[in-house]
Amino acid sequence: MNSTHIGWAGLAGSFTLIVIAMALSVWQRLRLSRSIAWAAARAAAQLLAVGWALRLVLDPDASVLWAWAWVVVMVVFAGATLRQRAPEVPGIWWLGTLSMATVILVSLSVIFGFGVFPIEGRTIVPLAGMMIGNSMTSCVLVGRRIVAEFSERRDEIEARLALGQTWRDAARPYTGAALRTALVPQIETTKAVGLVFLPGAMTGLVLAGVDALDAVTIQLALMYLVLGSVATSVTVIGLGLTRQLFTPDHRLRRLDRPATSS
């Protein structure tokens, strides 16, 4: 067995850790063993299916258009997943799709524009997947935070509007707070990398036998890519959602409680 091919036997060996997790669940009566088994089986099925499809897309002889088509599917699925995860956020499907598309456009333009990686199926698909995957949680967070903030602070926002502020000015402190909340975890992760944990891509490269310094430079590029992607996606969702919560004549739309009472 070489370092990049663990084989079915190696995979089965790693499954031992799942058995340990299930055993711990039984021992502590957590009633999670079925969930753990299901999660492990589902992950296996999904990844094997993806691996099989990726083999076709990443084939050096295959057209790069297949890779781009794959990215389009990922973007659309990301929007649908966001809607599932945060149904209380109005317009999250189209905002999520728009933000992911923006992230792909901006980030890949930079990465490929500067020639950081070559434009090939084997770079397009994993990079896009990494950006979308890392942006999802932050997008859910910022969407939920804005909806909560605008519901809780409705009085303040309307007081600002009543003083003649535009919707943009009236919303700025609250949207800004939500954007900070969503971005801080990714900034903290970026700060802690190397000291607290070794990130996945670097670990994978080192395991695959790549020189540690080469692995670090690739990882750094990816970390910058992810931080930029998260910032972009969160900003697109945050500003888009904020705009959507106001009418064209600068009134705050109703969220979870009526605006009028007497």
Cα separation, 56 vs 70, in Å, equals 11
Cα separation, 151 vs 255, whole angstroms:
6
Q: Which of 1, 163, 195, 213 binds other proteins (CB under 8 A)?
A: 163
Between residues 12 and 259, which has the closer beta carbon with respect to other proteins? Answer: 259
The distance of closest approach from Cβ of residue 29 to other proteins in the complex, given in angstroms and rounded to an integer, is 47
Determine, following the binding rule CB under 8 A, whether residue 262 of this chain makes contact with other proteins.
yes
Contact residue for other proteins among 161, 182, 225, 237 (CB under 8 A): 161
In the list 58, 125, 143, 160, the residue contacting other proteins (rule: CB under 8 A) is 160
Q: Are 251 and 161 in contact (CB under 8 A)?
A: yes
**Interaction between residue 176 and other proteins (CB under 8 A):** no
Does residue 151 belong to the site contacting other proteins (CB under 8 A)? no
Question: For other proteins, which is the closer residue by CB, 59 or 256?
Answer: 256
Q: Rg (Cα) of the chain, in Å, rounded? A: 22
First to last CA, the chain: 75
Q: What is the DSSP letter of 35?
A: H
Please tell me whether residue 60 binds other proteins under the rule CB under 8 A.
no
63 Cβ contact partners less than 8 Å away, ≥ 6 residues apart: none
Q: How far apart are CA 177 and CA 147, in angstroms?
A: 12
On the CB side of 189, CA atoms within 13 Å amount to 17
Residue type, 84: Q
- Scanning the structure block, which residue is given the tokens 């790549």? 210
Give 151 or 165: the residue with its C-beta nearer to other proteins: 165
**Residue 243 found at the interface with other proteins (CB under 8 A):** no
From residue 179 to residue 218, the character string flagging contacts with other proteins as x (rule: CB under 8 A) and all else as - is ----------------------------------------
Can residue 152 be called a binding residue for other proteins (CB under 8 A)? Answer: no
Please calculate the CA angle 167-181-108 and round it to the nearest 5 degrees. Answer: 90
- 261 contributes a contact to other proteins by CB under 8 A: yes
Segment near other proteins (CB under 8 A); pick from 45-53, 161-169, 182-190, 223-231: 161-169
Kindly state the smallest distance separating residue 168's Cβ from other proteins, in Å. 11
Of residues 130, 133, 132, 103, the one with CA closest to residue 221 = 130
Among 158, 193, 224, 243, binds other proteins (CB under 8 A): 158
| Residue 65 within binding range of other proteins, rule CB under 8 A | no
Report in angstroms the alpha-carbon separations of 45 from 77, 127, 134.
18, 22, 22
* 257 in contact with other proteins (CB under 8 A): no
Q: Which residues sit at the interface with other proteins, rule CB under 8 A?
A: 155-156, 158-166, 173, 249-252, 254, 258-262
